[in-house]
Amino acid sequence: MAETSNEKKEIQAEGATGAPKGIPPAQMASADADKGGKIMEKEMNHEEQLKEMKEVVETKEKAAEEKVSKEFNASAKVAEGRGEWKRESREERFAREAQAKLDNWVPKTELGRAIRAGKVKNIDEILDSGLKIMEPEIVDLLIPGLSVDTLFIGQAKGKFGGGKRRAFRQTQKKTKEGNVLTFGVMAVVGDRAGHVGLGYGRATETLPAKEKAIRKAKLNIVKVARGCASFDCSCDEEHSIPLEVRGKCSSVVVKLMPAPQGTGLVINDELKKILRAAGIKDIYSNCSGKIKTTFNAGKACMAALNKIGETQW
């Protein structure tokens, strides 16, 4: 069938506009816009996926590089003899410095040289023979892990004399240049296994006074005999003292008596430090005189403990 001139014109119009017959041009334009938007969205999603994949690869490579560098640093430290760095506490630093000082110790006495050479390995041999300890490093070597404590012999300033008790005893001396301050400290050392020492140190500053007191306490260390002599207890453990003893210093008199297990330390709080350092867990006591003078009370308690070894039972 032959095409008419009108149909030819319509076909030419469709070819010119690019739209099928019967579809409005505005609707066709919106469809083209939607199609272009979808293509752009796909391209953007593809770019985001490539970016994410690139970030994942970079993260894995960075982690692998850090692992290799850590392994290399660790191997280098081991090769050089250096360990892993760790922040140490104050107690650890003091212990390390004390150990280094003890390792570098050069004895000056014959007893110190014998201990350094390994001829004497027990402090009881020294105390039983009556030899005098002139160097505190001897005690540090033979009794490692000594417990150190201070007695509250001083008092801080307060209104109407109500100051808080403290370890430093402050005194003044009147001179032409002014008041000269002096601090005194009383320290007690022990291994909680029958060895205890008491020392008093004075200096113009607090820390040197404490160090001097600890040094003298180590030089004054003695052996305390322990046992169980209470009529209420029939055990064989060394938790108390074997007999009743009495010690005196100035007006203070301290009487120590055996006690059964579970009694505890029935005595002044400051004197408990001395008995704990000696390894005594249960005791009865009777104190008279000006017991608040801790300086004399501590000496009286040590005099009582020294009488245990002097008495024959």
Q: What pTM value is reported for the model?
A: 0.70
The per-residue pLDDT for range 201-221, each reduced to its tens digit, is 999 999 999 999 999 999 999
Q: What is the pLDDT of residue 89?
A: 85
How far is the CA of 265 from the CAs of 43, 146, 258, 269, 272, in angstroms?
86, 21, 10, 9, 7
Residue 311's SS3 state is coil
Please, what are the averages of pLDDT over each run of 10 residues along the chain (313 residues)? 52 49 55 63 77 86 86 71 68 85 90 90 91 93 91 83 84 90 95 94 94 95 90 85 93 94 93 95 94 94 91 60
Q: What is the dihedral of CA 148, 269, 196, 149, to 10 degrees?
A: 10
Q: Do 156 and 163 form a contact (C-beta atoms < 8 A)?
A: yes
How far is the CA of 154 from the CAs of 174, 218, 272, 274, 299, in angstroms?
20, 22, 17, 17, 15
Residue 124's SS3 state is helix
Q: What is the pLDDT of residue 16?
A: 46
- Count other Cβ atoms within 10 Å, centred on residue 108: 11
User: Which domains are seen in the chain, by residue range?
Assistant: 93-144 (no CATH), 145-310 (3.30.230.10)
Q: What is the pLDDT of residue 285?
A: 95
What is d(CA 98, CA 91) in angstroms, rounded to the nearest whole number?
A: 10
Q: Do 294 and 170 form a contact (C-beta atoms < 8 A)?
A: no
Q: What is the pLDDT of residue 27?
A: 57
What is the sign, positive or negative, of the torsion defined by CA atoms of 48, 53, 54, 55?
A: positive
| Residues 6+ positions from 32 with CB-CB distance below 8 Å | none
Q: What is the pLDDT of residue 7?
A: 55
Q: What is the pLDDT of residue 88?
A: 80
| Residues 6+ positions from 70 with CB-CB distance below 8 Å | none
- Checking DSSP bridges between strand 222-223 and strand 195-203, what pairing results, if any? antiparallel
Q: What is the pLDDT of residue 17?
A: 46
Q: What is the pLDDT of residue 297?
A: 95
Which H or E run includes 277? Answer: helix 269-278
> What tokens does 194 get?
């029958």
What is d(CA 218, CA 225) in angstroms, rounded to the nearest whole number?
A: 18
Q: Do 214 and 187 form a contact (C-beta atoms < 8 A)?
A: yes
Phi, psi values for residue 294, rounded to 5°: -65, -30
Q: Do 135 and 109 form a contact (C-beta atoms < 8 A)?
A: yes
